[in-house]
Amino acid sequence: MRKITIKNVTPENKSKNRLQKVFSFPKEEDIARDFFGWISAEHPLTLNGLTYDKVYFGIKFPVFAKTTDGQPYNQPANMDVVLISDDCLAMQCITSCHTEHTHHQAAIFKDAYFKPSCYYKGNPYRASFLRQALRYNEQANGFFAGVQQNISLLLGITNIMHDESALAWFKANNPFIESEVLEHINQNTEMIFTNLLYYCPKMGTNIYGDIHAEEKTYPYLLAEFLFDHLQNNLDEPLLLSRFITTYPELFAEIQSQMPKGLAEYLDNKYVLTNHA
């Protein structure tokens, strides 16, 4: 984010400066790396009873096995943040949502979503994902692009949980994850999936409410997709209990665990608490 220099810092100018920061969105990759980059064996994060001491960014998950022409599919879904627990038995998958929840956009799915032959055959939910792609395709009266992103990411997660070739692809295409960590990841690894929304208290908008009366909000659509259509089919260690939260909410929960000075830096840069 561009640093703003203010002369004659009066209370009024301070307020204007904070509002400028609020409405100038940071780069998506910056906030994710700033927020989680400190996690390590020396500075682990405890969250929901699990201790995470490994963090990775831009991890690739295999979406489809083949293209509509029968060629190997090489366009993975990128998970913004992946946390792995100290015992390597749990993986927290986080999609850092930058602006998906602030404007509505249609979902336009590629042809592969509608071709059963393109899916990894070991994934028992491929028919369910195909139905949801048909359901949401070209829908425009709401925040549907985010739902499309979630379908891709959850396809990737459930693929590596069920299909040996998808799991092998995952391990071969994520060289930033250490080999000794990768060897522990298997179909029994507990997966937690979360949408983490960038949201500033000063924006004055309730993202959990009805932002536009005529449109379905981002949280509403995710709840509809994840719980009404998918959760009833899942019978394995994929946890969706915290499928959506915001940076300020998570910041309030974990800031006491951050290294000295980091919480203040993050709050000043991204306006994560309400200073009214």
Residue entry with tokens 């299909």: 163
Q: What is the pLDDT of residues 76-93, one digit of tens each?
A: 999 999 999 999 999 999
Q: Where are the beta strands (DSSP E) in the chain?
A: 45-47, 50-61, 77-85, 90-97, 190-197, 238-239, 244-246
Exposure on the CB side of residue 181, measured as CA atoms within 13 A: 19
Average pLDDT, the chain: 81
Is pTM beyond 0.75 here?
yes
Q: What is the pLDDT of residues 168-214, one digit of tens each?
A: 999 999 999 999 999 999 988 999 999 898 876 665 555 554 444 45
Residue 161's nearest CA partner among 236, 89, 90 is: 236
Which residues are paired to 77 by β-bridges? 61
Does the pLDDT of residue 12 top 50, yes or no?
no
Instruction: Read off the pLDDT band of 229 (50, 70, 90).
Output: low
What distance in Å separates the CA atoms of residue 35 and residue 31, rounded to the nearest whole number? 6
What distance in Å separates the CA atoms of residue 174 and residue 61, rounded to the nearest whole number? 9
pLDDT of residue 228: 64
Domain ranges in the chain? 51-243
Residue 103 contacts residue 95 (beta carbons within 8 Å): no
Name the amino acid, one letter, at 179: S
